[in-house]
A = this chain, B = another copy of it.
């Protein structure tokens, strides 16, 4: 058994570990850039250090996916505008000097993204600080140092295996779209548990909320839970105990990771590391509704996905309020087009519904009765059941697209402000399995629709053939 697991892991490691050649190719480019940047910047006022960060710096990168972050570390006395403009100016100049391409990106403040010799890299400004961080990325050099100091060569490969496993299961990444495990969190988990196998054995027994101490900390566990009440996974950052390094991880993704661990421990297989393209069941009795629209502006992904997830939830709740049962929902986007999918129990509401009124002793009881007695849509009642009044009513709209359109027109749907014009005015509502499938084929997202219909995450599909 152990031997089989070793075999699996060695196969995967071959897939994900960069070759020496690749490593050298990236290193050459990085060294050139850093040396050019140093020339550009060291005589500049306030520049204290130029450092290499990211998974490449830590030796935990995956073949073909080197994350090269070059940080320009400033004296905290320099103002934020200056550190940005200086970094952008010399970053662009350096990359262009090497024949690369650049574009500006924004996180908390702007930075330069570039491609040189097919290698993607970021040049990012930050302040050189030991604590009292001024920007979100000031901790990064300390994270890099901590990982380098605390991780053996063998553990770096274990991080690579963990990242591959998480990627295949859509659990990798702290961005809002995913809500999963950042690279730094995967590194901390391997520092704690040494190997992927040991981590999974432990994770299989986790029950949220989960607290993991990388090194002994002063705060006790009860205080920690109170400090991060909405975090199902709490990993105090070793370089800043007041921060939860795993704050991006949602209950959904932590739960999926625990389940993945349980399944893997009982059924180790190479399939957990690969996206399994299985033949999807195509049972046409599924009641699917799609909402499709195209964006006319570009939004940073975390902004777009925040708005998308919020709006998805808002539409689902509006459908539930109208009487539909919403079983599942998900969204796809290439950041230009958006497709939201909902699976409902039924696409049409029953013609009649019971309207629950007030308790008989409320001020509003008689008003409720008078109103419904004279309403032509009253079919039976009002009557009393227990201590409450009810009445049977006829619906005016029953079809899901009509109901949703009316709710959107009445602005009773909680959609994000940034997507409101698209969803309420421009969106195409596609109703029914056949129409959604056809629309997906015509517009190039059949795979997403099939995955949605299959409704089975990769790590569950991985054990499917055994059953």
Contacts and interface: CB of A to CB of B under 8 A. Distances in A.
B369 A208 contact: no
Contacts of A365: 259, 262
A452 B379 CA distance: 12
A360 B456 contact: no
Contacts of A352: 285-287, 345
Nearest to A378: B281
B252 A373 contact: no
Copies in the complex: 2
Contact of A361 (B258, B387, B463): B258
Contact of A373 (B373, B383, B384, B464): B464
Contacts of A394: 283, 285
A85 to B, nearest CB: 45
Interface in A411-467: 453-457, 460, 463-464, 466-467
A381 interface: yes
Contacts of A387: 208, 232, 251, 255
A213 interface: no
The residue in A283, A386, A453, A460 that gathers the most chain B C-beta atoms within 10 A of its C-beta is A460
Interface string A269-305: 0000000000001010111000000000000000000
A454 B453 CA distance: 43
Interface of A, secondary structure class, is mixed
A374 interface: yes
Nearest to A454: B380
Nearest to A461: B373
Given A286-B352, A361-B208, A460-B369, A281 B385 contact: no
Contacts of A370: 463, 466-467
Interface in A24-71: none
A328 interface: yes
A206 B387 CA distance: 12
A360 B285 contact: no
A379 B386 CA distance: 39
A392 B455 CA distance: 9
Contacts of A208: 361, 387
A261 to B, nearest CB: 10
A382 interface: yes
A307 interface: no
A255 B467 contact: no
Nearest to A389: B259
Contact of A457 (B366, B383, B453): B383
A346 interface: yes
Given A208-B361, A262-B365, A285 B380 contact: no
A105 interface: no
Interface in A213-238: 232
B328 A383 contact: yes
A266 interface: yes
Contact of A386 (B255, B285, B346): B255
A455 B380 contact: yes
A354 interface: yes
A359 B285 CA distance: 28
Contacts of A343: 392
A327 interface: yes
Contacts of A243: none
A361 B207 contact: yes
Nearest to A250: B386
10 contacts: A255-B360, A255-B384, A255-B386, A285-B394, A328-B385, A380-B455, A381-B456, A382-B460, A383-B455, A384-B457
Given A262-B366, A287-B352, 15 more contacts: A208-B361, A232-B387, A252-B384, A255-B359, A255-B386, A259-B360, A263-B366, A281-B379, A281-B380, A345-B352, A369-B463, A381-B455, A382-B460, A383-B457, A392-B455
Interface of A: 206-208, 232, 251-252, 255-256, 258-259, 262-263, 266, 281, 283, 285-287, 327-328, 343, 345-346, 350-354, 359-361, 365-366, 369-370, 373-374, 379-389, 392, 394, 453-457, 460, 463-464, 466-467
